[in-house]
Chains A and B, each alone.
Chain A
Amino acid sequence: MKYSYFPGCSLKGLGRAYEESLLPVMKHLGVELQELNDWNCCGATAYMAVDEGKACVLAARNLALAEQNGGHQLLAPCSACYMVLNKTQHYCQDYPQMKETVDRALASVNLKYSGHSTVRHPLDVLINDVGLEAIRQKVVRPLKGLKIAPYYGCQIVRPYATFDDQFNPVTMDKLLQALGAEVVRYPLKTKCCGGSLTGTLPDAGIRMVYILLNEARKRGADCLATVCPLCQFNLDGYHAQLRSQYGDAVLIPTLYFSQLMGLAFGLPEEELGLKRAAIPFRWRPAAPVAKAGASVAVA
């Protein structure tokens, strides 16, 4: 299995623990990722607020680069990148005037986007290409006893639900269960974390973070699992404000699903970026269980 890999700016910055854990986990599963050469920022939500034509052009350059490299499957782990790249594909298909704008801009730098590349999310690849059975077989330290609130956030299923349900996504639930963890019922799984409002309008943004953490606390979760660098940053980075406004009880650690996979696979902890979070995650699975060859019954 081979994919072009589009890390996006966050995975090289504040969200580097996501990349640090995702790469060894994918390698361990035999998934080959080739980083897109000289990729640029997807434009995120900020560019759409200034000029949607330019936003689509920026995203389309990456799609064109992926096609040029022959890698028609582009893996985008960041939710904002994933959504913007998908949105650009939809806009180019649905609106001829947008396609023309994109084509003209790409032609000015000798690039071409034909529309053949597909944008994939790691959860999609893990569930549909790798498969849960292959993942289960790699688990040497099951996350037994760990209660996780699965938090998907907005932009991987909205507005374009390609691999999971728009209102009640379950792919990460299944994945975490395959790792041996207990997934708690978490009705806020697709509620917004506030995005950049935590920084620009803290009264509103931090309150949204509190609502998410407090619900996880009420459901008895030991941690939250996330798929998005901005969600992780919001749920983890504002602990000082959260503590002073709402007390210690809501300070629940938030991990990337890939970090939890790495722990269950028994990969070296230093490779998983666990020390990048401000709210520490101290729980560890029990020592590896020896696999007793072919006689192990599959439940």
Chain B
Amino acid sequence: MMKMVRTIKYESDRVPGFGKEVMSVPGCEQLKSCIQCGTCSGVCPLSVYMDYSPRQVMELTRSDFKNEVLRSHTIWLCASCYACTVECPREIRITDIMYELKQRAIKERVYPPRFPIPVLAREFTDMVKKNGRITEMVLVMKLFLKTSWLAGMKNWRMGLDLMKTGRLSLVTEKIKARGDIARMLDTVDAKKEN
């Protein structure tokens, strides 16, 4: 049997208000003026790997197709190089919109389990809250533990290099004012709840 996939979105797929909500976030306002020229997709070094191109993500977001954008690979493939942002003729901060979409996808947990990119983001933020700094090697180990042991093992050669060049440090970096970091971050959470 041929598997049929609908390629056009229906009106009923929309989540009304989603686009407006995103455009109300600092840095995302300009999205309303997108002319769909495709410059972003053209300059993006990762668009060849994306399911929806950056141009499509802009229109889908503005038109309330929440589920499509939050589940797309595109938002995770964005490496924050800001090429699109500086080239956009309407001065839309596309990278910042991608950040906003990533935040929403993480909050709603709509990404595949063990998908490394959001896992890395979570491990990173947990480590900063706890220690105030990042110990890169520990972060990398945690990432492999929580995503794929096999991928970690494949990098044995790199581990050896790092040891040889004196960079394989597993001593956790910590600041003195760790309590301050936690308190500041909690203040941000408390404000949101009010």
- Interface assignment of A118: CB less than 8 Å from any CB of chain B: no
Q: Is the CB of A49 within 8 A of B134?
A: no
- Interface assignment of A238: CB less than 8 Å from any CB of chain B: yes
User: Complex Cα distance A167/B187, Å?
Assistant: 39
- Interface assignment of B183: CB less than 8 Å from any CB of chain A: yes
Residue of A nearest to B129 (CB): A54
Contact A109:B103 (CB < 8 A) given known A12-B173, A46-B124, A48-B80: no
- Interface assignment of B128: CB less than 8 Å from any CB of chain A: yes
A residues in contact with B45, CB < 8 Å: 191-192, 194, 208
Whole-angstrom distance from the CB of A43 to the nearest CB of chain B? 7
Whole-angstrom distance from the CB of A128 to the nearest CB of chain B? 22
Contact residue among B80, B121, B188 (Cβ-Cβ distance under 8 Å from A154): B80
Count residues on chain B whose CB falls below 8 Å from chain A CBs. Answer: 60
B residues in contact with A155, CB < 8 Å: 80-82
Contact A49:B99 (CB < 8 A) given known A39-B175, A159-B86, A204-B77: yes
Contact residue among B128, B140, B169 (Cβ-Cβ distance under 8 Å from A40): B128
Q: Is the CB of A154 within 8 A of B82?
A: yes
Q: Is the CB of A237 within 8 A of B161?
A: yes
Q: Is the CB of A240 within 8 A of B157?
A: yes
Count residues on chain A whose CB falls below 8 Å from chain B CBs. Answer: 64
Mark interface residues in A10-53 (1 if CB within 8 Å of B CB, else 0). 10111010000000000000000000001111011111111111
Contact residue among A48, A91, A158 (Cβ-Cβ distance under 8 Å from B85): A158
Q: Is the CB of A154 within 8 A of B120?
A: no
Q: Can you list 6 residue pairs at the A/B interface with Cβ under 8 Å?
A: A43-B128, A52-B27, A108-B183, A109-B180, A154-B83, A275-B165
B residues within 8 Å of A by Cβ? 26-27, 45-46, 49, 77, 79-83, 85-86, 93, 95-96, 99-100, 102-103, 106, 116-118, 120-122, 124-125, 128, 132-137, 140, 143, 151, 157-158, 161-162, 165-167, 169, 173, 175-177, 180-181, 183-185, 187-188, 191-192
